[in-house]
């Protein structure tokens, strides 16, 4: 594959796309599929064929358009968006299309709202636009040009230089500078090197990585290829959780297509660069998102973390230097190389560059997937993009970072969303899950929920996490049953300190965060439970037997 061949594929695809005047794009990512979007697509296809509109009208399946709560979503020519489309609505839509009438009003979703206007799409630029199961469409959208350019015109050091200059930080949660990680692996000595894509997304309420893989899998592959070239790796693994069958299916298709075009395999683009990618499916353990546990799992061992150092960059998979990045990090790489590191560094804040994809969930008007520049305030996220809390209820807290993160109250709403600010406030950026809670949520109950999660997901290797999370969960249970004594609160705080500072891996070290942040901002609620046997939100009190 040369640059000319790539351009030829892109041009042929663009011409064939231009030959149909009208395009009906139906979202076929997991969210909309659960709202029968597959049937919608089939009915539309049949309708188009029956009416003989095939010449000027094309129906295709595309990735996620973001507003998952209003699915199934169908866009017409990129300017009309239909929401809550059911198979029965297809006739009306096609009638309007055929007669050249204005769109069906009851289905139109306004796109001039902050939810769409405030977004800046880099990772998601192709989501909802291209067919994720066709490599030609990705190539027509400038896909794989960054790879070809890197392989034919840049040295590995120059690639790393661009990534370093972009200021990109790991999107998996910890925010480690990507350029620094790449150069460490590039300098490490080993007989072989590996690149691993961490797609073991496990935070409750988070679905960014799934959406990227379902909507634009080639972007992740291209990012991995560029990374492999930069660090000198010849083999890669994508570790996807088995709960994402659609993402796995589309990744398999993408890998096969890329291999067919010579973009994966031996002598890529006629150079000496070889790279093979394999999938590994996670068997449902949250801790396997931790890099050393993930590597153990790929090696076929029990998914338990090991102490670091040595870091995977020095001794990773099979003891060899290993680069391990999150899906979203890899997805940021092709545009960075296409547009240059400076372009990316101009977006965002001083220390957090670029954009971040967030999954908005919980008590908010618009739930779904959004990509915003770093540094946007939480208030904008919740009230403008999210559309505020529904049913006239009052906002109470926003939870970021999943079970490793914390709950931030209304006082924190004007804080910018970046790695440092969130950490200072007692939460973390995390992988990008954002759960909004209103006054009907009890914060002690929320803390108990996350502790329950950590307790059941602890691997059991180290004592503080194994027994500590159990004890903390038990104390939180006593509090939510309104049977706790004041000394229980002191015990809880003591355990938080112990587990946070002595646990082996990130799971245990961050497990107390939901408790610590709620203790910090909602101490009054804990007091009410313990001293007055009262739950303000009316959630706690009864013992629930499941």
Partner 1 sequence: MTASANVKTFQINGRDYSARAEETILEVARQNGIFIPRLCELEGLSTVGACRLCLVEVKGSNRLLASCVTRVEEGMEVTTNSERLERYRRGIVELLFTERNHVCSVCVSNGHCELQFLSQKLDITHIHYPYRFPKAEVDASHGRFVIDHNRCILCNRCVRVCDEIEGAHTWDVMGRGIDARVITDLNQPWGTSDTCTSCGKCVHVCPTGALFEKGRSVAEMEKRRNFLPYLQLMRGDQNG
| Cβ closest to partner 1, residue 37 vs residue 297 | 297
Can you tell me the distance from the alpha carbon of 397 to that of 411, in angstroms, rounded to the nearest whole number? 9
Q: How far is the CB of 455 from partner 1 (least distance, A)?
A: 6
Of these, 277, 504, 519, 530, which contacts partner 1 (CB under 8 A)? Answer: 504
The answer to the question of residue 502 lying near partner 1 (CB under 8 A) is: yes
Residue of the chain from 180, 461, 483, 541 that contacts partner 1 (CB under 8 A): 461
Residue closer to partner 1 (CB basis): 276 or 306: 306
Give the Cα separation of 434 and 400 in Å (integer): 5
- DSSP character at residue 107: G
Interface residue with partner 1 among 501, 527, 532, 538 (CB under 8 A) is 501
Closer by beta carbon to partner 1, 121 or else 461: 461
Taking contact as CB under 8 A, which single stretch among the options 99-107, 192-200, 350-358, 465-473 is the one that binds partner 1? 465-473
44/27 Cα distance (integer angstroms): 13
For residue 417, the 8-state DSSP code is -
Binding track, positions 472-491, relative to partner 1; x by CB under 8 A: --x----------------x
**The tokens 């930069």 sit on which residue?**
230
Give the integer Cα–Cα distance in Å for 232 and 194.
Answer: 8
Of 482, 498, 536, 539, the residue at the interface with partner 1 (CB under 8 A) is: 498
Q: What does the H/E/C string look like for 297-349?
A: HHCCCCCCCCCCCCCCCCCCHHHCCEEEEEHHHHHHHHHHHHHCHHHHHCCEC
The nearer residue to partner 1, 245 or 460, going by C-beta atoms, is 460
Member of 186, 212, 295, 459 binding partner 1 (CB under 8 A)? 459
Q: Which of residues 295-334 bind partner 1 (CB under 8 A)?
A: 302, 306-307
Q: What DSSP designation does 384 have? A: I
Stretch that binds partner 1, among 76-84, 268-276, 405-413, 494-502 (CB under 8 A): 494-502
Q: Which is nearer to partner 1, 428 or 443 (CB)?
A: 428
Least Å distance, CB 470 to partner 1, is: 5
Nearer to partner 1, 321 or 468 (CB): 468
Nearer to partner 1, 472 or 537 (CB): 472
Q: Does 415 contact partner 1 by CB under 8 A?
A: no
Annotate 351-411 with DSSP letters as a single string.
SSBSEEEEEEEESSSS-EEEEEETT-BHHIIIIIIS---STTPPEEEEEESGGGSEEEEGG
Q: Which of 19, 91, 456, 533 binds partner 1 (CB under 8 A)?
A: 456
Q: Which of 325, 469, 480, 513 binds partner 1 (CB under 8 A)?
A: 469
Residues contacting residue 91 through CB under 8 Å, at least 6 positions apart: 47
Q: Which of 471, 481, 483, 534 binds partner 1 (CB under 8 A)?
A: 471
- Strand 22-27 to 80-82 pairing: unpaired
Instruction: Name the DSSP class of 411.
Output: G
The count of residues interacting with partner 1 (CB under 8 A) is 30
In 3D space, the residue among 216, 350, 245 whose CA is nearest the CA of residue 30 turns out to be 245
Residue 467 or 482 with smaller CB distance to partner 1 = 467
Question: Both tokens of residue 134?
Answer: 């066709």
**190 sits in which H/E element:** none
Q: What is the DSSP string of 410-425?
A: GGGTTSB-SHHHHHHT
- Per-residue tokens: 115: 């939810």
C-alpha torsion angle, residues 243, 172, 254, 343 (rounded to 10): 150
Residue 424: CB minimum distance to partner 1, A: 15
Binding of partner 1 at residue 242 (CB under 8 A)? no
Residue 424 as a binder of partner 1 (CB under 8 A): the answer is no
Query: Where on the chain is the footprint of partner 1 (CB under 8 A)?
Result: 285, 287, 302, 306-307, 455-464, 466-471, 474, 491, 494-495, 498, 501-504
């Amino acid at each position: 594959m040369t640059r000319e061949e790539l351009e030829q594929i892109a041009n042929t695809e663009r011409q064939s796309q231009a030959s149909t005047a009208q395009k009906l794009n139906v979202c076929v990512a997991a969210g909309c599929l659960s709202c029968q979007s597959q049937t919608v697509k089939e009915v539309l296809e049949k309708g188009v064929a029956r009416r003989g509109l095939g010449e000027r009208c094309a129906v295709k399946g595309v990735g996620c358009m973001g507003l998952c709560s209003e699915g199934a979503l169908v866009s017409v020519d990129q300017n009309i968006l239909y929401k809550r489309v059911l198979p029965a609505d297809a006739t009306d839509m096609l009638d309007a299309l055929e007669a050249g009438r204005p769109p069906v009003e009851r289905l139109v979703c306004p796109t001039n709202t902050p939810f769409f206007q405030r977004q800046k799409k880099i990772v998601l630029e192709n989501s909802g636009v291209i067919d994720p199961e066709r490599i030609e469409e990705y190539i027509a959208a400038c896909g794989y040009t960054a790879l070809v350019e890197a392989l034919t015109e840049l040295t590995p050091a120059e690639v790393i230089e661009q990534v370093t200059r972009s200021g990109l930080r790991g999107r998996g949660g910890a925010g480690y500078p990507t350029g620094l990680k790449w150069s460490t692996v590039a300098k490490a000595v080993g007989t072989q090197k590996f690149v691993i894509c961490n797609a073991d997304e496990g935070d409750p309420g988070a679905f960014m990585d799934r959406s990227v893989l379902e909507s634009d899998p080639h972007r992740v592959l291209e990012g991995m290829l560029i990374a492999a070239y930069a660090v000198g790796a010849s083999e890669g693994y994508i570790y996807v959780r088995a709960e994402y069958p659609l993402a796995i299916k589309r990744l398999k298709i993408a890998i096969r297509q890329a291999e067919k075009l010579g973009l994966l395999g031996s002598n890529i683009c006629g150079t000496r660069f070889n790279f093979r990618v394999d999938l590994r499916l996670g068997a449902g353990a949250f801790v396997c998102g931790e890099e050393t546990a993930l590597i153990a799992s790929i090696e076929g061992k029990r998914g338990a973390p090991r102490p670091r150092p040595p870091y995977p960059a020095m001794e990773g998979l099979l003891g060899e230097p290993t680069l391990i990045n999150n899906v979203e990090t890899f997805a940021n790489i092709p545009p960075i190389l296409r547009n240059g590191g400076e372009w990316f560094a101009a977006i965002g804040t001083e220390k957090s560059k670029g954009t971040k994809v967030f999954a908005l969930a919980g008590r908010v008007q618009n739930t779904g997937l959004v990509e915003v520049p770093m540094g946007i305030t939480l208030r904008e996220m919740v009230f403008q993009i999210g559309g505020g809390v529904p049913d006239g209820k009052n906002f109470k807290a926003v939870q970021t970072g999943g079970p490793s993160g914390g709950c931030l109250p209304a006082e924190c709403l004007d804080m910018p969303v970046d790695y440092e600010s969130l950490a200072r406030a007692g939460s973390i950026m995390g992988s990008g899950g954002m759960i909004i809670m209103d006054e009907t949520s009890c914060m002690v109950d929320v803390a108990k929920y996350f502790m329950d999660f950590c307790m059941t997901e602890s691997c059991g290797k180290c004592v503080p996490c194994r027994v500590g999370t159990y004890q903390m969960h038990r104390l939180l249970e006593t509090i939510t049953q309104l049977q706790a004594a004041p000394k229980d609160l002191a015990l809880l705080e003591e355990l938080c300190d112990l587990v946070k500072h002595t646990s082996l891996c990130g799971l245990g070290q961050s497990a107390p965060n939901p408790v610590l942040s709620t203790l910090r901002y909602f101490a009054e609620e804990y007091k009410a439970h313990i001293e007055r046997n009262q739950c303000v939100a009316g959630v706690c009190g009864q013992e629930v037997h499941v």
